[in-house]
């Protein structure tokens, strides 16, 4: 896989470089960015290119528009924030590959940056029809001389700007993609032990494949978040109105059995913060994990569980965390996620490799006031990270390995 360093060594002055970034940032109701982590993560590769005299064309997506322009999904907030971070204006084309995009790219001088509008405003970006997807990729490729893949959060997607365009231009892995792959390789190829994995988030079904694979490699799995209630149900406990995937109970029973046979420790909460509604103002208290009242829902792991989770992370030399422990965006249910984050910070100080696996986990640690550099690595990957850990081939990586 050729890298950004290889490209810079070859020389890029005057070349048009199409950079596929991940700028899929969360926005509030007013369209303001609430977590700019992905924008900040895109800066080093772009700065390296502009510093070497490249004419950089940034492309990305935001949200899930249906193949046509939607104002609420415009990349304008991302372009503005990127410009602030670069200390230079980043003009945004009014389209993806149309007249505005072509004029903007043609007007670039060495060391300047422009951004195309949301790629998903064009149906070809995500089309299942290979011909339609490749046609859009050809239009993207016509805007550039070189392609740099730097959006790790999308490398698990076989999409025009991730996969097809790499087959049409000389292609390189950006600094972010290279860093993500190196960290994930450390998690999958002879990790330092003890190796602890913390899994949370809403649904166990989203993580079935990764759980199955981690049972082969991890020493202990700590389970929290909404997915824990399917585990508790599999043990025969009442979970009240908590989030439950009843169709996964038997699968989870199988995982519990496999873990026991393989000597993998499964750590489940012993107490739960249970509320009578999904609201910060709802009546709530701490109950035993095996005695959740029928009229209440679990919204966080309890204080004893938080201590137990921290204790099981204290001696770990490798930690991967994906998914919050509760509804962290509401203060009464943030303590479990806070405790896990603090435990990872301590583990990092002790020399462990700690990886926060993107998505809601990354948003949670930032919202709770932690700095990125308090952890070994904060992934921008989310689903891509999980699929890598699951052992799947990721199209956006395999295409970079081709000549």
**CA torsion angle for 183, 188, 191, 197 (degrees, to 10)?**
90
98 is catalytic: no
Task: Given the residues 2, 158, 383, 392, select the one marked as catalytic.
Answer: 383
CA distances, 250 to each of 236, 246, 253, 259, 400 (Å) = 11, 8, 5, 14, 39
Inter-residue contact 334 to 370 (CB < 8 Å): no
Task: Given the residues 40, 158, 203, 253, select the one marked as catalytic.
Answer: 203
Q: Calculate what percentage of the chain has a pLDDT beyond 90.
A: 91
Quote the domain boundaries for residue 45.
4-179
How many structural domains are present in the chain? 2
Q: What is the value of pTM for the model shown?
A: 0.89
Question: 């043609």: which residue's tokens?
Answer: 106
51 is catalytic: no
136 within a domain of the structure (yes/no): yes
Residue 11, annotated as binding a ligand: no
User: What CATH number does the domain containing 263 carry?
Assistant: 3.40.50.1260
399 within a domain of the structure (yes/no): no
104 within a domain of the structure (yes/no): yes
Taking residues 302-307, what's their average pLDDT? 98
pLDDT digits (tens, 9 = 90+) for 315-337: 999 999 999 999 999 999 999 99
Could you tell me if 242 and 170 lie in one domain? no
Nearest to 24 by CA among 11, 37, 12, 15: 37
Could you tell me if 164 and 257 lie in one domain? no
Average pLDDT, the chain: 95
Could you tell me if 147 and 271 lie in one domain? no
How far is residue 354 CA from its own chain's centroid? 15
Q: What is the DSSP letter of 289?
A: T
Q: What is the pLDDT of residue 18?
A: 98
Residue 205 has pLDDT above 90, yes or no: no
Domain boundary among 131, 153, 179: 179
Residue 61 has pLDDT above 70, yes or no: yes
Q: Calculate what percentage of the chain has a pLDDT beyond 70.
A: 100
Residue 124, annotated as binding a ligand: no
151 within a domain of the structure (yes/no): yes
pLDDT digits (tens, 9 = 90+) for 219-228: 999 999 999 9
Cα 295 from Cα 275, distance rounded (Å): 9
Cα 221 from Cα 264, distance rounded (Å): 7
Nearest to 362 by CA among 398, 324, 334, 389: 324
Q: What is the pLDDT of residue 362?
A: 86
38 is catalytic: yes
Task: Given the residues 124, 359, 382, 396, select the one marked as catalytic.
Answer: 359
Residue 245, annotated as binding a ligand: no
18: part of which helix (H) or strand (E)? strand 16-20
Taking residues 389-399, what's their average pLDDT? 94
79 within a domain of the structure (yes/no): yes
184 within a domain of the structure (yes/no): no
CA angle 220, 226, 231 (to 5 degrees): 50
pLDDT digits (tens, 9 = 90+) for 103-114: 999 999 999 999
397 within a domain of the structure (yes/no): no
Residue 323, annotated as binding a ligand: no
Q: What is the pLDDT of residue 204?
A: 85
Could you tell me if 166 and 196 lie in one domain? no
Q: Cβ neighbours of residue 13 under 8 Å, at least 6 residues apart?
A: 52, 53, 54, 110
Residue 359, annotated as binding a ligand: yes
Taking residues 65-91, what's their average pLDDT? 97
Could you tell me if 243 and 323 lie in one domain? yes
Q: What is the pLDDT of residue 56?
A: 98
253 is catalytic: no
Could you tell me if 134 and 208 lie in one domain? no
Peptide bond into 41 cis (omega under 30): no
pLDDT digits (tens, 9 = 90+) for 240-294: 999 999 999 999 999 999 999 999 999 999 999 999 999 999 999 999 999 999 9
92 within a domain of the structure (yes/no): yes
């Amino acid at each position: 896989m050729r890298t950004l360093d290889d490209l810079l060594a070859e020389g890029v002055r005057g070349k048009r470089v199409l950079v596929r970034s991940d700028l899929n940032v969360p926005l509030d109701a007013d369209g303001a960015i609430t977590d700019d982590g992905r924008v900040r993560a895109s800066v080093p590769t772009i700065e390296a290119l502009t510093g070497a005299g490249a004419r950089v064309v940034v492309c990305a997506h935001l949200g899930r528009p249906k193949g046509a322009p939607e104002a609420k999904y415009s990349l304008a907030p991302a372009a503005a924030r990127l410009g602030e971070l670069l200390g230079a204006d980043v003009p945004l084309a009014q389209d993806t590959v149309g007249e505005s995009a072509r004029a903007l790219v043609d007007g670039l001088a060495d060391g300047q940056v422009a951004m195309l509008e949301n790629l998903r405003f064009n149906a070809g970006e995500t089309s299942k029809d290979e011909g339609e997807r490749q046609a859009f990729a050809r239009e993207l490729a016509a805007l550039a001389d070189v392609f740099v893949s730097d959006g790790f959060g999308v490398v698990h997607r076989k999409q025009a700007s991730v996969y097809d365009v790499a087959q049409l231009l000389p292609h390189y892995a950006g600094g972010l993609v290279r860093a993500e792959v190196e960290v994930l390789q450390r998690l999958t190829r002879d990790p330092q032990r003890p190796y602890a994995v913390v899994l949370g988030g809403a649904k166990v079904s989203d993580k079935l494949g990764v759980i199955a694979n981690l049972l082969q490699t991890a020493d202990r799995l700590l389970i929290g978040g909404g997915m824990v209630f399917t585990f508790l149900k599999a043990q025969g406990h009442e979970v009240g109105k908590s989030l439950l995937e009843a169709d996964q109970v038997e699968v989870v029973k199988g995982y519990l059995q496999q873990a026991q046979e393989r000597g993998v420790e499964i750590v489940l909460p012993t107490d739960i913060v249970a509320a009578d509604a999904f609201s910060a103002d709802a009546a709530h208290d701490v109950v035993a994990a095996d005695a959740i009242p029928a009229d209440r829902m679990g919204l966080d792991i309890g204080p004893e569980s938080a201590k137990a989770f921290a204790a099981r992370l204290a001696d770990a030399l490798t930690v991967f965390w994906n998914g919050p422990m509760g509804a962290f965006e509401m203060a009464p249910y943030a303590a479990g996620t806070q405790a896990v984050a603090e435990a990872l910070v301590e583990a990092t100080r002790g020399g462990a490799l700690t990886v926060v696996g993107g998505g809601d986990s990354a948003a949670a640690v930032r919202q709770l006031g932690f700095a990125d550099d308090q952890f070994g690595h904060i992934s921008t990957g989310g689903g891509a990270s999980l699929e890598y850990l699951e052992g799947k081939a990721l199209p956006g990586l395999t295409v970079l390995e081709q000549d």
